[in-house]
């Protein structure tokens, strides 16, 4: 069997431990301990059990077990530092990482393939990382191939120090990579998959252990006079070299000769794979565009690709590139118009897959998930018997779409399948994306520990490959995890890092998404004016890029602030606009948020029957039935309704039950809300000590000052501690002045000693 945890792979057949394909040396005893724990993750194991299961009942001193555990922890932490073990006083030891067991059937596929002809291609040293994210259908998908037989492996060695203006070095490398990425005969691996702590030499030595047929391909294009010369050089594990030059006065003929040579080496085929333009000027323009994108010269790249299309209206590869750049700039209408022209005149399956995958992503961001779902499912069904590499990207996007439609089980099934594929292929770039997606999904369903685990894995992989956009997205996920645990300052640190990255890349969608997270934190902290300013900025970006989900978020924040400030009329107006937009886009998450906001407004306006009806309707929703956080939020709303109709005992019981549920999933945000409500209830019942006990538990988190400090001041006052109450109330006013009400001011003044 094979067990995955924290980036490690334990092979119990070979009795070896691997990390990023590198063997980790273990003593015999350390291996036996680790093997036992990965087979019993999360269980609390006593020393007696370890003696029975690991030492097979032999007489063992207690310190022998401690020393063996220390050695194992030291070995694991020397490679990837984290908390692997937790000692439970009086009970035993618990193995903390999430462990995934891969079946022998899946793993045998990998071992069988090591004896096949394969090729891994690594892209140039040019920084393609942001390019990889936005143009994933060309470059990221090159590593996402279906596991079939008779594939080859190649590692593309490219010239170093490639300047932004040197398209002769950048362009050909990117073009050859793009063509090979669509080959059914080649498995591609990005050079950026090399872990940062390994040299290229060490990395290749490791790869050769698993793939002895791996070859290195060096590609170089030069020009002298009016002649272009393309050199291909293949080197195998034994150092045997095969070199070939192709020279012609026409660029396209030179490149074509090289591709034909690759075809003879069985790396490409001439069936449906991408063809290069026959016109040399057109090909050069396209290669200049590729080089411009790789160097983040987006405006120049758009000009180059537009020139290509003006010269040849059937040049669909240039249209795909331009459509993705338009989408990146928020020009979805222009992007869809280009894709329409492709769909009308294209007969290449590879172009169709990429075009429709791009279209699905745009439709999803425009709030039309059903249309996107239909496109993805049709693609996967149409080419289910094929092995096109781009289909795994489609499946990845499908998993994200299922999550947005609250079909969490389907989303997780697809992500688990993709995770296994990318682990087998050592595809670090796409594996990081899957980890990040799983983290978001676990957070959504209330599994915060698992969410943080996968977020850390994603950040580790994105950092290794240098993917800035991936890091920005993961910072946002880590911020949501921190916010859920009421670690607001930590959340803002993550979000500032995300915002710095997205602004440096002028990535409007990323900027808006990060602002969305920051606004949420500011509202929790009571910094409403600052939040309102950012809402306007986010809404402006949402309108500019025509992103419905972001428009909905802006309206939701406006409603939340209106509720806090007791502006019921404005809340009703924006709530109606929010509902119309959510219904028009069929955004199920937004409809769920709308239902909770409507209940809050009805309770605040003392509309008891309306609130009861809305609660009853929401109770039967799939989200409340299946998502832990949604159920907790519903319980809180129900408890508020109990208080509204003076059923205090029922409210208290429901809140205490919900508090236990929130503690199980470490939902600090909900715990604080519940404790605030309970404290208000206890203060009305003159149970100041009970109120303080609830507030004291909240202090385990970095709780926002309001209403926490105000409630604490009232409790202290009830207990006769007037001085402490005055100090606490004054602190609350200073830290949350925007939330400070006239009623609060009256209470504060009552605490000030009267002068005689």
Q: Print burial letters for 398-428: b (CB count within 10 Å at least 16), e (below 16).
A: bbbbbbbbbbbeebbebbeebbbbbbbbbbb
| The pLDDT value given to residue 692 | 94
| Claim to verify: residue 605 and residue 689 sit in the same structural domain | yes
3-state secondary structure of 149: coil
Question: Who's near 405: CB < 8 A, 6+ residues apart?
Answer: 369, 373, 588
In a domain, 338, yes or no: no
Task: Please count the structural domains in the chain.
Answer: 4
| Claim to verify: residue 66 and residue 126 sit in the same structural domain | no
In a domain, 6, yes or no: yes
In a domain, 425, yes or no: no
| Claim to verify: residue 649 and residue 500 sit in the same structural domain | yes
Q: What is the CATH number of the domain that holds 29?
A: 1.10.10.10
Could you list the residue range(s) of the whole structural domain that residue 120 is in? 107-276
d(CA 709, CA 726): 11
In a domain, 501, yes or no: yes
| Claim to verify: residue 159 and residue 32 sit in the same structural domain | no
Question: Do residues 270 and 158 make contact, with C-beta atoms less than 8 angstroms apart?
Answer: no
In a domain, 446, yes or no: no
Domain stop point among 67, 102, 137: 102
Find how far residue 556's CA is from the centre of its chain. 23
| Claim to verify: residue 685 and residue 723 sit in the same structural domain | no
In a domain, 377, yes or no: no
| Claim to verify: residue 223 and residue 83 sit in the same structural domain | no
In a domain, 11, yes or no: yes
Question: Do residues 126 and 294 make contact, with C-beta atoms less than 8 angstroms apart?
Answer: yes
Q: Which segments in the chain show pLDDT lower than 70?
A: 20-21, 61-62, 89-90, 101-152, 154, 156-166, 184-200, 202-203, 206-207, 209-211, 266-273, 367, 387, 406, 424-428, 464-466, 486, 755-756
| Claim to verify: residue 586 and residue 512 sit in the same structural domain | yes
| Claim to verify: residue 468 and residue 594 sit in the same structural domain | yes
In a domain, 52, yes or no: yes
**201 preceded by cis ω (within 30°)?**
no
| The pLDDT value given to residue 586 | 73
Is the dihedral angle over the CA atoms 156, 157, 158, 161 positive or is it negative?
Answer: positive
d(CA 431, CA 414): 13
């Amino acid at each position: 069997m094979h067990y995955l945890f924290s980036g490690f792979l334990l092979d119990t057949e070979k009795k070896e431990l691997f990390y990023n394909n590198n063997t980790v040396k273990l003593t015999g005893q350390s291996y036996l301990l680790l093997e036992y724990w990965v087979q019993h993750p999360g269980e609390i194991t006593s020393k007696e059990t370890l003696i029975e299961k690991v030492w097979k009942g032999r007489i063992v001193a207690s310190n022998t077990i401690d020393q063996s555990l220390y050695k194992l922890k030291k070995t694991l932490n020397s490679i990837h530092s984290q908390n692997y073990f937790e000692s439970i006083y009086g009970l035993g030891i618990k193995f903390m990482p999430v462990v995934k067991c891969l079946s022998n059937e899946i793993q045998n596929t990998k071992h069988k393939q090591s004896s096949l002809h394969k090729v891994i291609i690594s892209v140039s040293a040019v920084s393609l990382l942001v390019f990889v994210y936005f143009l994933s259908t060309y470059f990221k998908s090159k590593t996402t191939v279906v596991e079939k037989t008779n594939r080859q492996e190649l590692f593309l060695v490219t010239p170093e120090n490639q300047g932004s203006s040197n398209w002769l070095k950048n362009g050909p490398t990117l073009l050859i990579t793009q063509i090979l990425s669509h080959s059914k005969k080649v498995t591609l691996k990005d050079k950026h998959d090399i872990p940062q702590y390994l040299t290229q030499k060490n990395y290749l030595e490791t790869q050769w252990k698993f793939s002895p047929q791996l070859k290195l391909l060096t590609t170089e294009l030069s020009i002298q006079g009016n002649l272009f010369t393309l050199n291909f050089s293949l080197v195998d594990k034994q150092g045997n070299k095969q070199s070939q030059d192709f020279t012609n006065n026409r660029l396209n003929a030179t490149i074509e000769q090289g591709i034909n040579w690759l075809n003879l080496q069985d790396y490409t085929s001439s069936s449906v794979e991408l063809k290069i333009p026959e016109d040399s000027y057109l090909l050069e323009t396209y290669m200049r565009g590729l080089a411009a994108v790789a160097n983040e010269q987006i405006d120049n790249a758009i000009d180059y690709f537009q020139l290509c299309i003006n010269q040849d209206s059937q040049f669909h590869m240039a249209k795909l590139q331009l459509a993705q750049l338009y989408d990146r700039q928020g020009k979805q209408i222009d992007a869809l118009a280009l894709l329409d022209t492709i769909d009308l005149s294209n007969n290449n399956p590879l172009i169709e897959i990429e075009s429709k995958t791009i279209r699905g992503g745009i439709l999803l961001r425009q709030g039309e998930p059903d249309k996107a779902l239909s496109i993805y499912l049709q693609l996967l069904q149409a080419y289910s018997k094929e092995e096109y590499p781009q289909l795994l990207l489609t499946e990845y996007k499908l998993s994200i779409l299922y999550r947005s439609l609250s079909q969490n089980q389907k989303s997780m099934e697809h992500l688990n399948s993709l995770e296994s594929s990318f682990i087998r292929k050592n595809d670090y770039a796409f594996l990081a994306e899957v980890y990040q997606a799983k983290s978001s999904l676990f957070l959504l369903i209330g599994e915060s520990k698992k969410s943080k685990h996968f977020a850390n894995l994603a950040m580790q992989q994105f950092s290794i490959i240098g993917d800035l956009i991936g890091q920005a997205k993961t910072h946002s996920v880590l911020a949501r995890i921190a916010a859920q645990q009421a670690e607001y300052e930590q959340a803002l640190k993550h979000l500032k890092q995300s915002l710095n990255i997205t602004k440096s890349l002028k990535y409007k969608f990323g900027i808006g998404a990060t602002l969305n997270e920051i606004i949420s934190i500011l509202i929790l902290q009571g910094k409403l004016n600052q939040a309102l300013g950012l809402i306007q900025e986010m809404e402006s970006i949402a309108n500019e890029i025509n992103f419905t989900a972001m428009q909905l978020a802006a309206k939701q924040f406006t409603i939340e602030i209106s509720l806090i400030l007791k502006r019921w009329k404005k809340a009703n107006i924006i709530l109606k606009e929010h509902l119309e937009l959510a219904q028009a886009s069929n955004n199920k998450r937004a409809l769920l948020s709308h239902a909770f906001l409507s209940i809050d407004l009805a309770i605040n306006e003392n509309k008891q029957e309306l609130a009861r009806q809305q609660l009853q309707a929401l109770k039967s929703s799939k989200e409340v039935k299946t998502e832990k956080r949604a159920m907790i939020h519903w319980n809180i709303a129900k408890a508020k309704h109990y208080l509204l109709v003076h059923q205090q005992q029922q409210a208290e019981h429901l809140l205490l039950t919900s508090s236990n549920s929130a503690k199980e999933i470490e939902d600090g945000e909900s715990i604080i809300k519940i404790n605030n409500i309970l404290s208000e209830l206890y203060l009305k019942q003159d149970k100041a000590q009970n109120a303080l006990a609830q507030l004291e538990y909240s202090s385990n988190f970095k709780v926002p000052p309001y209403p926490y400090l105000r409630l604490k001041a009232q409790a202290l006052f009830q207990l006769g501690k007037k001085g402490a109450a005055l100090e606490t109330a004054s602190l609350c006013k200073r830290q949350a002045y925007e939330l400070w009400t006239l009623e609060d001011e009256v209470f504060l003044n009552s605490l000030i000693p009267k002068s005689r």
